[in-house]
Structure 1
């Protein structure tokens, strides 16, 4: 399994916290940053955003867009009107910071939301 997917799975159970960046609390951006750092990413992580909106083009500046998801890939999803959401693909599903459940969880299978794009660290 990829180090990115392993790090995401290790964060399962961590509480949800908007703009959270550590194991004391994570949001979807913080989860992805934590997982990518385990895979070697050392760049900046966006901050100061709201629960709705966002600029997904930041992913194109740091990752490579791919056609289909493999374990460790970053998923960009449309979770609701004007709401984008990130997750990490695993071998059996995906990990994401679930604001409703107030924690990081792994869900089996593919996300229930439309996938807007998939990115991978250095192909």
Structure 2
């Protein structure tokens, strides 16, 4: 899905993805259909609510080494959170500024973020 355009609340690779839509579309492409959160704001959800939504979908906190397919939850300033996926040696995420899904090297912000995987 790298290169797919960014679209807020987007959940279909054909029309665009945001960070939540990317995670859910990637799991669907891998054969795991998950109930996707809807009507979430760009900013303002508390960490507890986001972690609760991940848990309700079947994700659990993973405190061991990152694995391809893990979901990463990055906390940005102003209560803005961002989800992405771990690749073999990369981070895949819907980049609002670049207006597309990108694959970047793992940096400190990703390596130190909370990670989640399906139980």
Q: Is the pair's TM-score, using the shorter chain for normalization, greater than 0.5? A: yes
Pairs within 5 Å for 1:13-92: 13-23=3-13, 24-54=15-45, 55-56=49-50, 57-61=52-56, 62-67=58-63, 68-92=65-89
Aligned length: 111
Against the structure 1 CA distance between its residues 89 and 19, is the aligned structure 2 distance closer, same or farther, given a 3 Å change threshold? same
Flag structure 1 segments of 5+ consecutive residues without an equivalent.
1-10
8 Å contact from structure 1 (residues 88, 94) kept in 2: yes
Distance 2:83 2:72 in 1: 6
48-57 vs 24-33, which deviates more?
A: 48-57
Flag structure 2 segments of 5+ consecutive residues without an equivalent.
none
**What TM-score does the superposition give when structure 2 sets the normalisation length?**
0.84
